[in-house]
Amino acid sequence: MLVQDFLHHSACRFPDKVALVCVGNRLTYAQLENAANHLAHRLQNLGVARGDRVAIHLPNSVEAIVGLFAVLKAGAVFVVINRATKPDKLTFILNNCRATALITDARAINQGLGVRVLAEVNSLRGVIVCGGQGMGAPADDLRFQNFVLNPRTNPVASPCPQTIDLDLACLIYTSGTTGEPKGVMCDHSNVVFITQSIVEYLKNTDRDIVLNVLPLSFSYGLYQLMATLFTGGTLVLEDSFAFPIAVLQKMSQERVTGFAGVPTIYSIILGMDLSVFDLSSLRYLTNAAAGLPVEHVKRLRQLLPKVELYLMHGLTEVARTMYLPPDQTDKRPGSSGVAMPGTELWIEDEQGRRLGPGEVGELVVRGRHVMRGYWDDPQQTGERFRPGPLPGERVCYSGDLFRTDEDGFFYFVSRKDDIIKCRGEKVAPREVENVLYSMPGVQDAAVVGIPDPLLGQAVKAFVVASDSGMTEAAVIAHCKARLEDFMVPQQVEFRRELPKTDNGKIRKLDLH
Residues 26-50 pLDDT 10s: 999 999 999 999 999 999 999 999 9
Of 367, 359, 412, 405, which is closest to residue 385 (Cα–Cα)?
A: 367
Task: Please provide the average confidence, as pLDDT, over all residues in the chain.
Answer: 92
Q: Are 72 and 3 in contact (CB under 8 A)?
A: yes
Residues 438 and 314: their CA atoms lie apart, in Å, by: 33
Q: Which of 68-72, 320-324, 390-394, 428-432 has the lowest mean pLDDT?
A: 428-432
Q: Does pLDDT of 216 surpass 90?
A: yes
**7-21, 116-130, 429-443: range with lowest mean pLDDT:** 429-443
What percent of the chain shows pLDDT beyond 70?
A: 97
CA 369 to chain centre: 16
Q: What pLDDT score does 415 carry?
A: 74
Prediction pTM value: 0.84
180 versus 190: which is more confidently predicted? 190
State the pLDDT at residue 431.
82
Does residue 359 surpass a pLDDT of 80? yes
Neighbours of 14 (CB within 10 A): 17
